[in-house]
Structure 1
């Protein structure tokens, strides 16, 4: 490893600014520069704790160029602290390019523990946490979403937009109305809300009540019956994306798999 500078990956609060750790504050104070997803957003946190660190922007649109610049600074002996707007950098946030570049250059990478919306939601959901999968944001396309939901053999954790939540719940309910779900909204903030129930129950709730704020959805593992739809739905989605019409394509996949064509068609189209 290089004996020069280093990268310190610093998770920041997902809502409540008091969730910052002492080690992260120390790292931010000691860093030569703090690479931020949004410098204005991070400045609020720094000012609250009297941290006068120099900041530079580091986001999805400038990762490549900025990573090269930051690696050069670390090679010259500087310490760079990496933060995102909330939670752990790289977890559905910028940072992978920089970490990869540091590893390639032999620069030390230190990762500090701290807040994570995905882990907070998983624990709060009350769903099995021994084996789970984080998938970032849920797919927008109904076919891709149906394939993902039907093939999940473990608890699924995902971010979701308030505008898309009802549609995603409708897709899930079309596959298995009794699938256990937890919708975790505004975690650690003043209006934190965690709703647990079946897919159909939460669909009804959010059809009647408009969801707001930042949302993490935790979904129980698919039943054996639902899981059997996964490969068939994936095949159907591929046929449709290639230009086939939905109903005839569902009939073809039905002939090959034995799953009723209407079941495949509904799973592909409902909830969108």
Structure 2
């Protein structure tokens, strides 16, 4: 089932815990909803509260309640619970997530550039920054209540809608809170097939979670979560007015349940990879791919 999530106001999805005084350059946010946020929306619309269990046990229970299957911790999924996002503008054109605050406008050209190690000028035909509104917030000093500190938070524009595929039988529809920031979005189902793309090359729509015991160098085959990854070409990195592709990793938190869930290493959205032939039906890769982490959009390139 395809689901369209349309933010009703400017919104903020934090990727880093907000504690103490925050300044703009450490306010790490995402414009794109994670699989755990989608699970929260489904729960709110079905009027179901998460179970108060430690670690990721609440996610395991949520997955079972929606699919009647146990979470098996496989490293790829042909039928993930959630898949996406694709991003729609007001003209219904579709774009693809890059890192956590940018859009890929021409996904085929983007992948071709990554594979051919292109370095050139960034243009509006390839990449676009999402509009961000920065707001000043005031907070009392904890040690001196007469002193007020200013800090800044970033909010994304609500001009785009987010398209996901949700693998559940019941329709979900209504208005729901968007994450934990007291923002709201309209959720509408669409009765049409999802477009997963096709081909051996792909971009990540969600962070691909992985684990490795090595500190610096290791083979892809030794990394838990990379079993279906044949090659990694990287994600675009800006160098002044030029761009280049580098393999980047980040730490990604699995959100909040009864307590803060763990953080795992991840390849960020927008990373270009080649998928192994034996995983030709996979729609999500890596740890917790059954939930939708590591969702991929495939592209077939002419040889």
Query: If the length of structure 2 is used for normalisation, what is the TM-score?
Result: 0.21
Q: Which structure would you say has the larger Rg?
A: 1
Greater relative CO, 1 or 2 (CA 8 Å, sep 6+):
2
Normalized against structure 1, the TM-score is what?
A: 0.23
